[in-house]
Amino acid sequence: MQDFLKIVPGLILFPFSIYLAWKKLGVKVAASITFGKSRTLPSRITDVVLINFKDKPVTIFAIYAVMDKLISWEVDRFDPPIVLKPLETIRISTTPYSQLWLNTGVFEPDVVGSKNIEIFLVLSRKVVKCKKLRHPNLQHIKAFASYQNAIKHADDINGVVYDENAAYAIVYKSETGTKTAIVDCSGFICSNGDFWFNTLPAEAMHSTKHLETYLNNVDLARQRYLTSLENGHLFLPMRQICAVVPLLNPLYKPYCHVDIEYT
């Protein structure tokens, strides 16, 4: 009896040992992809979510997609390679491209018509096929069956989201790159401090032409003031206006939404 009691802990721990060993053997990664298209870029895989089911790191040199088991293309390549940590979930925003060429013609993945797109990871010594991962749909979950579903909608310009209180978008270049500031219907400039004033007069809000003229005149007056300073001790953020875009607002003349990209 005593001998049996001695081996009981081992019998209990044995399944856990097998489970922990299994968590470290092989590579098991699930992938979820997001498609996107802009006015100046083709339809492509814009984001890839990877989930590592194993308790070991995975070093990834490239991600490939295969459609309908016929056509493959490189989604992204990493130099240096990225490391998916044990049991980690990461989201990768892929590098955009202008075109995909297949034989002698341009190839654009049919993201709507084809549902059979598989994701492969290029590792140091092998290529691993990812398990398909789909985002849960609350409409198919019984707990949410009795609820009405409110759907989110986002209007944005250059990645900056706005609502019906927005009147204009000011696209400008500063010392840190190209940025977009939203002007609300009261004339307040929602920016990160690149403007040394934060409110526009009513006369500047009549049209894009009035707003562009006002901003240019203010910049000219600012430059004259800076040059009049002997020591130049007053610091004002430097910027260059690229465009003023009208946004959809019921308080003003309705405009079509315009997406503008600046590089």
User: How far apart are alpha carbons 233 and 261 in whole angstroms?
Assistant: 35
The pLDDT of residue 83 = 96
Q: How far apart are CA 207 and CA 177, in angstroms?
A: 26
The whole-number pLDDT of residue 12 equals 55
Please state the three-class secondary structure of the chain as a single string.
CHHHHHHHHHHHHHHHHHHHHHHHCCCCEEEEEEEEEECCEEEEEEEEEEEECCCCCEEEEEEEEEECCCEEEEEEEEEEEEEECCCCEEEEECCCCCCEEECCEEECCCCCCCCCEEEEEECCCCEEECEECCCCCHHHCHHHCCCCCCCCCCEEECCEEECCCEEEEEEEEECCEEEEEEEECCCEEECCCCCCCCECCHHHHCCHHHHHHHHHHHHHHHHHHHHHCCCCCCCCCCEEEEEEEECCCCCCCCCCCCCCCCC
At 226 the pLDDT is: 57
Integer Cα distance of 118 and 31 in angstroms: 9
CATH 2.60.40-classified regions of the chain: 29-132
Q: Amino acid identity of 102?
A: L
The strand pair at 29-38 and 131-132 is best described as parallel
What's the pLDDT at 56?
92
Q: Say which residue the tokens 């005593």 belong to.
A: 2
Q: What is the pLDDT of residues 39-98, one digit of tens each?
A: 788 888 999 999 999 999 999 999 999 998 889 999 999 999 999 999 999 999 999 999
For residue 179, CA distances in Å to 82, 105, 174, 190 come to 29, 36, 7, 12
Is the preceding peptide bond at 254 cis, omega within 30 degrees of 0? no
Supply angle C-alpha 5, 23, 6, rounded to 5: 5
CATH of domain 29-132: 2.60.40
Q: Which residues of the chain have pLDDT under 50?
A: 4, 14, 16, 19-23, 233, 235, 250-263
The predicted structure's pLDDT at residue 261: 38
- Contact between 185 and 167 under an 8 Å Cβ cutoff? The reply is yes
Beta bridge partners of 73: 65
210: which 2 tokens? 């009035």
In this prediction, residue 41 carries a pLDDT of 84
pLDDT the model gives residue 131: 93
Give the model's pLDDT for residue 119. 95
Q: What is the predicted pLDDT for the residue at 254?
A: 36
Angle at 214 between CA 228 and CA 218, to 5 degrees: 15
